[in-house]
Amino acid sequence: MQPMEMNSTTDPRAVVQYASERWQASADCVEYVGMRVDGTPVVLNLTAHERLSPNRSLGLVRHSPAGFDWGYTGSGPAQLACALLLDYTDNETVAQQHYIQFRNDVVSQLVCDGPADCWHLTGEDIEAALAEFEEYRALTPDGGTPSSSLPTNWSAVSRTDRTVFQRRDIDHYVVLAEGSEEWLIILCAQGDRAYPAPLDHRTLPVENDPASAVQELVAESNDLVEPEEDT
């Protein structure tokens, strides 16, 4: 692969210098900047003076091994959202629980503009988004404990590439998987089968919140087999 050719307008170092002078970012004020260099998306951590790599986030979720992108909802922005949250919080649980909503609400809205033709995202911006996510009651992985958004006989657990909602009294579960354009939410029954049998499913655009669809399938399972009274 040929090395990227840099000039005064596309060299990330020049952008770092410009942004640092403009915003006078201090060591305790985290700021990220994104731009396209010869068409390639580049994201920098201005405070650390280093380029943000997708490698660490790819160990958590693999939406876009090819790299980052922004300005829409899709695999590249999802990878960037996870990488930003992971880099900023240094917390895999926070990154995995919130990166989809962070992509939908923040990364999809990033636009390169201004004299340097780039976007800026501060630590305060990220903190504000995370605060809103904590206030927003949606179905999220909780390590297998009962969720307030689910009936008492269901729990939510996190997997490497998806969220699974498991029924505690019988072998039913709802698998929540995200593609590049839509959510696929499947109600399955395992039983003594070698492979799970799908009972029903829902599909939604990726920009939609899947919580209501999950709740519909959970309710359908409880209607099919009534929960035990002590669950």
Q: For the whole prediction, is pTM greater than 0.85?
A: no
Output the CA torsion sign for 91, 95, 97, 102: positive
Per-residue confidence band for 18, with pLDDT thresholds at 50, 70 and 90: very low
Q: At what angle do helices 123-135 and 92-105 cross, to 10 degrees?
A: 90
Residue 35: the pLDDT is 96
pLDDT tens-digit map of 101-122: 899 889 999 999 888 899 999 9
pLDDT tens-digit map of 51-61: 999 999 999 88
Identify which has the larger pLDDT, 181 or 38: 38
Residue 192: the pLDDT is 58
Residue 42: the pLDDT is 96
Residue 80: the pLDDT is 97
**Token pair in block for residue 45:** 């951590």
**Token pair in block for residue 23:** 């915003």
Task: Specify the residue for token string 């903190």.
Answer: 127
Residue 22: the pLDDT is 39
pLDDT tens-digit map of 118-169: 999 999 999 999 887 765 444 444 445 556 577 888 887 765 556 788 888 8
Three-state DSSP class for 69? coil
Residue 158: the pLDDT is 63
Residue 193: the pLDDT is 57
Q: Look at residue 95 and tell me whether its pLDDT is greater than 70.
A: yes
Instruction: Return d(Cα 18, Cα 84) in angstroms, integer.
Output: 21
Question: Rg of the chain over CA atoms, in angstroms?
Answer: 21
Q: Look at residue 5 and tell me whether its pLDDT is greater than 70.
A: no
Instruction: Return d(Cα 102, Cα 80) in angstroms, integer.
Output: 10
Residue 111: the pLDDT is 94
Instruction: Return d(Cα 188, Cα 166) in angstroms, integer.
Output: 10
